[in-house]
Amino acid sequence: MNTRFLRTIVIAAITTLGGGAAMALEPGQPAPAIDLAGTQAPVSLASLKGKVVYVDFWASWCGPCKQSFPWMNEMQAKYGSKGLQIVAVNVDAKREDADRFLTEIPANFTVAFDAKGDSPKRYQIKGMPSSVLVGPDGQVIRVHAGFRPDERRAQEDAIVAALASIK
């Protein structure tokens, strides 16, 4: 990831921490492809068609990400058997930074690595963390920037509603 892109992400993160800023990726659009290396195996969004996928973009330097990981672990444990798959896409330039974060705050869900920052560009991500809820048909359901404790319920409600659409 180049320095200019990282600087843009940091500035965007600072400006979006106060609210779920509008993003250019809209509900109803097809979710852009994700094909990345993962902690255990390659991660492909296309291979998860038929599931509800909560795609989370994160970085080791992101304070709110430290709060979102325990919540995502809880959501994966609670709804994984019902069709939810959380995919957390790390955008650190150095894999060691992500690995250090994951040692401190383990992920019980799929983690992918995008050091070049291509996937957040395709998803038009403006800050860390940002999440995109993708339906079983591969369409974007919800886009959200930031992670705040008072929004956990609304995020979970969106996941539950999306899971109801699985046939």
Average pLDDT over residues 102-116: 97
Average pLDDT over residues 96-110: 98
Q: What fold characterizes domain 3-17+27-163?
A: Glutaredoxin (3.40.30)
Tokens of residue 71, six digits: 């919540």
Distance CA 68, CA 147 (A): 6
pLDDT at residue number 116: 96
Tokens of residue 127, six digits: 């800050």
**Domain boundaries along the sequence of the chain:** 3-17+27-163
Tens of pLDDT, residue by residue over 40-98, are 899 999 999 999 999 999 999 999 999 999 999 999 999 999 999 999 999 999 999 99
**String of DSSP letters for 45-66:** SGGGTTSEEEEEEE-TT-HHHH
Tokens 């430290």, residue located: 66
pLDDT at residue number 167: 74
Q: What predicted TM-score, i.e. pTM, was given to this entire model?
A: 0.85
Bridge-based pairing of strands 110-113 and 84-90 is parallel
Confidence of residue 131 (pLDDT cuts 50, 70, 90): very high
